[in-house]
Amino acid sequence: KGKVKTQWVCGSCGHTEGKWWGTCPECEASATMYEAAKLTDNAIGSWLPQPPQDLRPLKLEHVYRGFNYDKWRIPLSGSFGNEISTVLGGGLVPGSLTLVGGDPGIGKSTLLLQIAAMLAKEGRSDEGPPVVYVSGEESLQQIGIRADRLGINSNIYLYSSTDIEDILMKTHDLSPRALVVDSIQTVYLKTIIGNAGGIMQVKECTTALMRFAKTTNIAVFLIGHVTKSGEIAGPRVLEHIVDVVLYMEGEKHSPYRMLRAVKNRFGSTDELAVLEMSQSGLQAVSNASEMFLTQQHSDSNVLAGLAIAVIMDGTRTFLIEIQALCLTHCPVSSSLANGIHANKANIIKCVLIKQAGLHLQDNAVFLNVVSGQTVTETAGDLAIAAAICSSFLEFPIPQGAAFIGEIGLGGELRMVPRIDKRVNTLAKLGYKMCVVPKEAEKLLEAEGLGKMKVVGCKDLKEVINAVF
Ligand code: TYD
Ligand code: MG
């Protein structure tokens, strides 16, 4: 085995030196140099499958503790960079392996090319370490054209190959800051039997990429196609090998894309990036909380039967419009709900009849969540009830009002998690009134909510008296 030499790397710009410096000679940041092992020539290839006798259990006290990934995460700047940085847990960890999964055509290649561009630019102003983008999916020309469309002109090396050994060897020569492999389904290891995309290939190639990332400290991104059910041999079986799993989601006809951390060894899995696919690629959404609201809501002619709920996804809050239509002598035999579970819709209808005295018995109730979202959180109960009341009473809910709370079978309003965060979002957006469970009132007193009025209600009767 080759001997491992020590080198010093600046955590802020990635500059390397043969000895320690108090101040980085390159970017002049102080106390950022950390020790990293440098591979000698004959250690190259150590990321390939190893005979088992090379690996030994290590005594706890001998395990190296100098690795503090938080200290030398690579920050990503700008509004787009911030979104990505957040899902990664506060910047990219060198030597990490990140799997980016998602349906074909959702925008994974676009996303990774944009991330590659950012990483190649970050840090040093002139010629910083490059980023290598390997594609087994598209030709170099196709990627070049995409880069032009995205306005990318960074220090990126493109390579078209599917042989992992070859990819890693040539990537190592360039000492890049990061490596992107598009996609895991197209790469293979010569020593493993089976076609690219097969379960053994996918597993072994990922393991090789993991060893490569760990031995070289190069951050590796791996793209994987996956269907909603995750049946295809691929990303699902890789989740336990890699450090970070991000899934890209979005509706077919919507420009919005969510990037969600499903697993993260270096941060929380509660994080979510909200992006928008535009002509010039993916961008951060500036008003993500409001992205599901429709335009007409800002007009003065407010419809009856429309109520706003505040839903949480991870640590983010979203305002969602719920519409209800109550109809007597309905030609359609039953009530329908779109984006709300039918059981929930029926229970809320019955609670309104029994506990709030609403004569809904002869009405068919239609419910719809605007913009095709699905409301599963119980915090949306109150807005569903409010929308039904508003349609039934033909009384529009005043503009700038929102509803948060779970409804019990007794018609009582129950607390929901993170109510302070939800209410704060409304206040920040200039909402005038927010109906919440009584218990939440005291809790919210301490918050600086500006002009917004918090209306605490014990049960549905109180809500109806306060609003309608
Ligand atoms: P792509 O990144 O190729 O998806 P994936 O790698 O997940 O299969 O891009 C998917 C779609 O994004 C493609 O159909 C076109 C669209 N797109 C834009 O709308 N704007 C752009 O700037 C780019 C590059 C792509
Ligand atoms: Mg692609």
Is ligand 1 within 6 A of the CB of residue 183? no
CB distance 221 to 93 below 8 Å: no
**What number does the ligand 1 atom closest to the CA of 111 have?**
2
Torsion of Cα atoms, 383 then 388 then 389 then 393, to 10°: 140
Task: Say which CATH architecture domain 295-467 belongs to.
Answer: 2-Layer Sandwich (3.30)
Find out whether the beta carbon of 142 lies less than 6 Å from any atom of ligand 1: no
pLDDT digits (tens, 9 = 90+) for 282-299: 999 887 777 777 755 555
* Nearest ligand, measured from the Cα of 138: 2
Ligand 2 centroid–CA 110 distance in Å is 7
**What atom of ligand 1 comes closest to residue 137's alpha carbon?**
6
Kindly report the length of the chain.
Answer: 468
The residues of the chain scoring below 70 in pLDDT are 1-7, 11-14, 36-55, 64-69, 122-127, 227-236, 295-301, 333
Ligand 1 center from residue 106 Cα (angstroms): 7
**Which residues, 6 or more positions from 121, have their beta carbon under 8 angstroms from its beta carbon?**
128, 154, 155
Pairing of strands 316-328, 336-338: unpaired
Listed as own residue / partner, the contacts of 337-346 with beta carbons closer than 8 Å and 24 or more positions apart are: 337/366, 337/367, 337/368, 338/367, 338/368, 338/369, 339/367, 339/368, 339/369, 339/372, 339/373, 339/374, 339/375, 340/367, 340/369, 340/374, 340/375, 340/380, 340/384, 341/376, 344/381, 344/384, 345/384
What does the pLDDT read at residue 2?
45
Q: By three-state DSSP, how is residue 53 classified?
A: helix
Is the minimum distance from the CB of 102 to ligand 1 under 6 angstroms?
A: yes
Which amino acid makes up residue 315? T
State the distance from the centre of ligand 2 to the C-alpha of 105, rounded, in angstroms.
Answer: 7
pLDDT of residue 330: 79
| Residue 106 alpha carbon, nearest atom of ligand 1 | 7
Tokens 């290939």 label which residue?
A: 201
Best residue among 108, 110, 148, 256 to mutate for probing ligand 1, ranked by most atoms within 8 Å of CB: 110
Instruction: Check pocket membership of 104 for ligand 1, CB cut-off 6 A.
Output: yes
Cβ neighbours around 429 below 10 Å, total: 16
Residues 187-235 pLDDT 10s: 999 887 778 877 788 888 999 999 999 888 899 999 998 755 554 445 5
**Its pTM surpasses 0.90:** no
Mutate to test the pocket of ligand 1, among 115, 186, 248, 277 (most ligand atoms within 8 A of CB): 277
Tell me if 335 sits within 8 A of 286, measured CB to CB.
no
Which ligand sits closest to the CA of 112? 1
CATH 3.40.50.300 fits 69-286, yes or no: yes
pLDDT on residue 186: 93
Amino acid 124: pLDDT: 45
State both tokens at 94: 């060198």
Break the chain into its structural domains and give their ranges: 69-286, 295-467
What pLDDT is attached to residue 157?
93
- Tell me, using a 6 A CB cutoff, whether residue 281 lines ligand 1: yes
